[in-house]
Amino acid sequence: MKRIASLFALAFGASVAAQMPIDIPRMLKISDNVYVYEDYHSGAEKFTTNSLVVITNDGVVVADGQGSVAATKGMVDAIAKITPKPITHVVIGSDHGDHTGGNAAFPAGVKYFVHPTSRDTLKGPDGATLVTDRTAISVGGEEIQILFLGRAHTGGDLSVFLPRQKILFMSETFFNHVFPAMRSAYPSEWLGALDKAMAMNAALYIPGHGYTVADGAESRRNLVAYRAATAAVIAEATRLYKAGVPLADAPKQANWGEFASWTLSASQGPIAIRKVYEELSRRASSRN
C-alpha cells in the first residue's frame, strides 16, 4: 500500500491531489452494497484500473478483473474481507489484458457475460452468455443491466447499470482524466457511446480507468470532460488529416490544448491520430 498524492498531482493537478490522498489498491464503498476496487495499471504512468463489485443476497457480481492473476486475486481476497458471499457472475466490460489478464483468479463455475466481439478476441470464456445489446439479470433480488452502448475503446465494450442505485459502470468507455487511448478504438462511434451514457442521467458514473469519485455531480463533470477530450482529439486529428499533414509528421504538429497534460497524452496521442486517419481514409474510400 502506497500513499500516492504525488502521483495524483502529476495526473490530475495539485489541487485535485490535495483532496485525494489515496492508498492503492483500495476498495471504495459507493452505496450499501456497491463497491469499486482500484489497483494500479501496469506501466510507467500510474493510474488505476477499476472493477465494479456488487454484493447481493445470493452472491457477488464483478464487472472487469485486473491485469494479472496476482492483481485479480488481490481483489478476490479484498471482496472476501467484506462479504462471505461467493463471486457468482463476472461481466467482461473490456477484452483488453489489463481487465482480463487475471480472470483465472476468479472461482471456477462463475457465470461470464461478454460481447461476441470480445468473446472472439479472447477466444472464450467457454459457455459465456453473449450480450449484443441489453441483458438484464436478477441476482439475490438485485437487478443488474448489462449494456452495449456501442463500439468505443474496443469493438465489444460493455457497461453495467444498477437501476436501483442509478449507478453506471462504464469500463473502458470512460477514462477519468486519462487521455483517450485508441489503439483498438472506433473514434466517432466512441462519441456516440458517451452520448448514450450521458443521456441515461445516472446518479453516478464510474470509469474503467482513473480514480472513482463517489459524488454524482462530480462524476458527471468528469464524464463530460472526457467526452470533450475525445471530441477534441478527433477534431485535431481531423484538422491535420484535411491539411494533408503526413501521418509521420502529424504527432509533432498536434495541439492537444488543455488535454496535453492528461496522463498518457505523449504515448497515446500518436496512436489516436493514426486511428482517426484510418477512419477518415475509410470514409473517403467508400465515397469513391
Model pTM score = 0.92
pLDDT score, position 60: 98
Range of the domain at 65: 2-232
pLDDT at 7 over 80: no
210 within domain boundaries: yes
Instruction: Provide the residue type at 10 as one letter.
Output: L
Higher confidence at residue 210 or residue 13? 210
257 within domain boundaries: no
pLDDT at 13 over 80: no
122 within domain boundaries: yes
- Beta strand pairing status for 26-29 and 48-56? unpaired
At 8, the pLDDT band (50, 70, 90 cuts) reads very low
Q: What is the pLDDT of residues 77-109, one digit of tens each?
A: 999 999 999 999 999 999 999 999 999 999 999
pLDDT score, position 45: 86
Task: Enumerate the H helices of the chain as residue ranges.
Answer: 5-12, 14-19, 69-82, 97-100, 116-122, 187-199, 216-242, 250-253, 265-287
State the first-to-last Cα distance of the chain, in angstroms, to the nearest integer. 57
d(CA 259, CA 248): 21
3-state DSSP assignment of residue 129: strand
CATH for 189? 3.60.15.10
pLDDT score, position 18: 34
As a whole number, the mean pLDDT across the chain is 93
264 within domain boundaries: no
pLDDT at 65 over 70: yes
pLDDT score, position 80: 98
At which residue does the C-alpha cell 500516492 appear? 4
pLDDT at 17 over 50: no
Share of the chain above pLDDT 90, in %: 88
CB within 8 A of 131, min separation 6: which ones?
A: 113, 114, 115, 146, 147, 148, 158
How many domains is the chain built from?
1
3-state DSSP assignment of residue 29: strand
Cis peptide upstream of residue 125 (ω within 30 degrees of 0): yes
Distances (CA, A) of 157 to 150, 189, 236, 286: 7, 11, 25, 26
3-state DSSP assignment of residue 67: coil
Strand order, beta sheet including 159-162: 134-139, 142-147, 159-162, 167-169, 204-206
pLDDT at 163 over 90: yes
At 287, the pLDDT band (50, 70, 90 cuts) reads confident
Residue among 206, 270, 282 nearest 31 (CA): 206
pLDDT at 227 over 80: yes
266 within domain boundaries: no
> Which residue(s) pair with 178 in the sheet?
263
C-alpha cell at position 39: 489497483
79 within domain boundaries: yes
d(CA 230, CA 8): 21
At 285, the pLDDT band (50, 70, 90 cuts) reads confident
pLDDT at 40 over 50: yes
- Beta strand pairing status for 142-147 and 111-114? unpaired
Average pLDDT over residues 136-152: 98
pLDDT score, position 12: 43
138: enclosing H helix or E strand: strand 134-139
CB within 8 A of 151, min separation 6: which ones?
A: 157, 186, 189, 190, 193
pLDDT at 115 over 50: yes
254 within domain boundaries: no
pLDDT score, position 41: 85
d(CA 170, CA 208): 6
Residue among 137, 161, 162, 159 nearest 148 (CA): 159
247 within domain boundaries: no
